[in-house]
Amino acid sequence: MTANIQKKVALFATCINDVMFPDTCMATVRLLERLGCRVCFPPQQTCCGQMFTNTGYFNEAIASVRACASAFEPYEYVVGPSGSCVGSLREQHPLLAELSGDTALQQTVKAVVDKTYELTEFLVDVLGIEDVGAYFPHTVVFHQSCHSLRVARLGDRPRRLMEKVRGLTLLPLEADDQCCGFGGTFSVKNPDLSAAMVSEKARCVAKSGAEYLVTVDNACLMNIGGALHRDGIAVRTIHLAEILCSQECERDEPHVCHPQPNRALLTHNKGEKDGRVGGGAP
């Protein structure tokens, strides 16, 4: 293992993980520490600013860019457990920094971009590890989130890591490269379309027969998981970092959401609720 040389890593927690999915961040920290890294959490960091940029509010995103730049500048590596946020940092921040007209910021951003990795990239490319010594005796399906595929360009790294997890069975997921319909503010600006898209994704996940749905982006999990929970489909959602962190000796299973099947919905709505909004919970 090349991990013996201690690497100083700044964790890019991302706003959604910080507030909604702290377990993913903690799992990332434990995993990296287990592999011999020294992990820090620079508290100035906030968010990648995608919410603003992708809605057209470029100027409003610049504060986030500054926060990230100043937080991550002193570190050797920046690692985030999110394809979407890491992709945004790498692809959008240079553009936004240029827009701000601040040349010092542009330079800092460029330096930060060059050392920022998504977790799976960092494991496979920098640490050179595919077998992280994880144990997860469950059947899973993997949703390749759009931004991890096409913006951060993670390729097959997540799958390679999963293949080395002992006990894990990766099942095929129908239309796994299709968008789940989250799309940030898209889900609120085009709610009916987003609902139709997530319904189909939830249907495919339910059909797969897996125990867990895995992604490298918790935003997608929030969307698909919300739909699974609404439909009373007992597939749990989990971030890949939490799977990679879990080991055989651990007594506790990683924290996952356990949806409580809504009986009334199950009996009332056996068929696909695809695209129909306003149904809501009884």
- Report strand pairing: 212-215 vs 169-171: unpaired
Instruction: Establish if 34 lies at the interface with another protein (CB under 8 A).
Output: no
With beta carbons less than 8 A apart as the criterion, state whether 122 and 241 touch: no
Binds another protein by CB under 8 A, chosen from 4, 5, 43, 101: 43
Binding test (CB under 8 A) with another protein, winner from 10, 17, 69, 105: 17
According to CB under 8 A, which one of 7, 10, 12, 26 is a site residue for another protein? 26
Positions in 197-256 near another protein (CB under 8 A): 197-199, 222-223, 225-227, 229-230
215 alpha-carbon distance from chain centroid: 6
Contacts of 206 (CB under 8 A, 6+ apart): 228, 231, 233, 235
What's the closest the beta carbon of residue 203 comes to another protein, in angstroms?
13
Binding window for another protein (CB under 8 A); candidates: 56-64, 115-123, 205-213, 240-248: 56-64
* Minimum CB–partner distance for residue 70 and another protein (Å): 9
Q: How many residues bind another protein (CB under 8 A)?
A: 79
Q: Please give the backbone phi and psi of residue 237, each rounded to the nearest 5 degrees, phi first.
A: -110, 140
Element (H, E) at 191: helix 191-208
The C-alpha atoms of residue 96 and residue 107 are separated, in whole angstroms, by 12
* Footprint (CB under 8 A) of another protein, residues 112-151: 146-147, 149-151
Candidates 34, 54, 100, 102: give the one binding another protein (CB under 8 A): 54
Q: By the 8 A CB rule, do 120 and 164 touch?
A: no
Minimum Å gap between C-beta 131 and another protein is 27
Nearer to another protein, 111 or 175 (CB): 175
Q: Which of 31, 49, 80, 216: binder of another protein (CB under 8 A)? A: 49
187 binds another protein (CB under 8 A): yes
Cα of first residue to Cα of last residue in the chain, in angstroms, is 54
β-sheet with 139-142: strand ranges across: 169-171, 139-142, 212-215, 236-239
